[in-house]
Amino acid sequence: MTASSSALRAPADTHRHASVVRFPVDAGQVLDRCRTLVRPALRDAVARTHPWVGEMAAYSFGWCEVGGAPAAGSGGKGVRQALAVLGAEAAGAPGRAAVPGAVAVELVHAFSLLHDDIMDGDEARRRRPTVWKAYGTGPAVLAGDALFALAVETLAAAPEGPRAVRLLSVALQDLVRGQADDLLFTTRPWTGPERVRPDEYRTMAEHKTGALLGCAAALGALLGGAPPATVAALDRAGRHLGIAFQVVDDLLGIWGDPAVTGKPVHGDLRERKKTYPVLTALDTPLAGRLAALLESAADPGEAAALIEEAGGRSAALTEARRHVAAVEAALADVPLQEGPAAELRSLLDYLVRRDL
């Protein structure tokens, strides 16, 4: 895209904590540190399940190939486990206090991806066949179920287990709601009274993407002994982060550089996805022309140009910026340890201030 990443920067922070000096933090180093802390416990959890199911789980994390031969994969970025670790550290506790929560959210995230790939019919993830494609649909469902059960077991055994499981349960209910809405959106028309509204999309994104991000940070804070206000603030920050991330993903799905995104240009338009820029453009007088293009075999470049003309691109940037500001406000609203708070903000940059 032609806009720079500074286009997403929130307005200057006028909150009472704005005088804190913030030093640059490398998000990659933060993720590496948190993965190193959490991975032994994550591997131990996966090893507790049935060997065949454990192999599929290990394959999903990039640890092995089909058949169990070791693989050089990194197992993903580990954003959610990092949010859990930083949630504990921001509350003044050592990062290891959050490890059960970090393991639980990573297992739940992997479970959701296994099932999402089946529902969406996706055949590849991280440049490898998805679990259902490699092992079969039934086995992949079973592996996802096992990961979910492991997550609950891991969290229930932790200090504050009952409260932690309740937090996770709320996030899971929201995740299911978001996934259900996302699936139903595909059946609804582009225009007319039954069309998908931007506010419905916002709710879907908070549930499908934001709920688990918020839960991760909140679980870390809870396991680190934080007061309820801090737990709630970190959950709120993660939910806004999820919406901002999803909207930025939508922008990249239409106008992103394929060399950066790994996806073809205008990919989301070719797949007729109801993304935020499209939905806001469909709320303008250009809706009829745009719907006709989306329903035809026309070059998606025409639709992309019309979405931009209708203000869909600028509206999406504004929406993402608004939620970035909401994340900053939530983090500033409670007392947090300065170093971990800076690392949390580095993950915000990493996730939403991509190549825009």
pLDDT one-digit tens code per residue, 323-344: 999 999 999 999 999 999 999 9
Q: Rounded mean pLDDT of 43-60?
A: 96
In this model, does residue 14 exceed pLDDT 70?
no
Q: How confident is the model over 43-58, as a mean pLDDT? A: 96
Cα–Cα nearest to 291, from 192, 190, 186, 188: 190
pLDDT digits (tens, 9 = 90+) for 258-302: 776 667 778 889 889 999 999 999 999 999 999 999 999 788 999
Quote the DSSP letter at residue 125: E
State the pLDDT at residue 17.
38
**Region label for 317, one of left (φ > 0), alpha (ψ between -120 and 50) or beta (otherwise):** alpha
Q: Dihedral, CA atoms, 197, 202, 207, 209, nearest 10 degrees?
A: 120
In the chain, the amino acid numbered 242 is G
- Identify the CA nearest to 336 among candidates 242, 246, 224: 224
Distance from C-alpha of 218 to C-alpha of 232, rounded to nearest angstrom: 7
Decide if 61 contacts 110 (C-beta within 8 A): yes
Return the beta strands (E) in the chain as ranges.
124-125, 128-129
Give me the percent of the chain exceeding a pLDDT of 90.
80
Q: What are the backbone dihedrals phi and psi of residue 267, each rounded to the nearest 5 degrees, phi first?
A: -60, -45
pLDDT on residue 15:
37
Q: Which residues pair with 124 in a beta bridge?
A: 129
Answer whether residue 2 shows pLDDT above 60.
no
* Of the candidate ranges 160-164, 268-272, 303-307, the one whose mean pLDDT is the lowest: 268-272
Q: Write the CB contacts of 175 (distance below 8 Å, at least 6 apart in sequence).
A: 108, 112, 207, 208, 211, 212
| Interstrand relation of 128-129 and 124-125 (parallel, antiparallel or unpaired) | antiparallel
Burial class (CB in 10 A: 0-12, 13-18, 19+), 213: buried
- pTM to 2 decimal places: 0.90
Please provide the DSSP assignment of 212-263 as one string.
HHHHHHHHHHHHTT--HHHHHHHHHHHHHHHHHHHHHHHHHHHH--HHHHSS
pLDDT at position 21, please? 39
Contact by Cβ (8 Å): 41, 27: no
- Cα–Cα distance between 35 and 73 in angstroms, integer? 13
Confidence of residue 225 (pLDDT cuts 50, 70, 90): very high
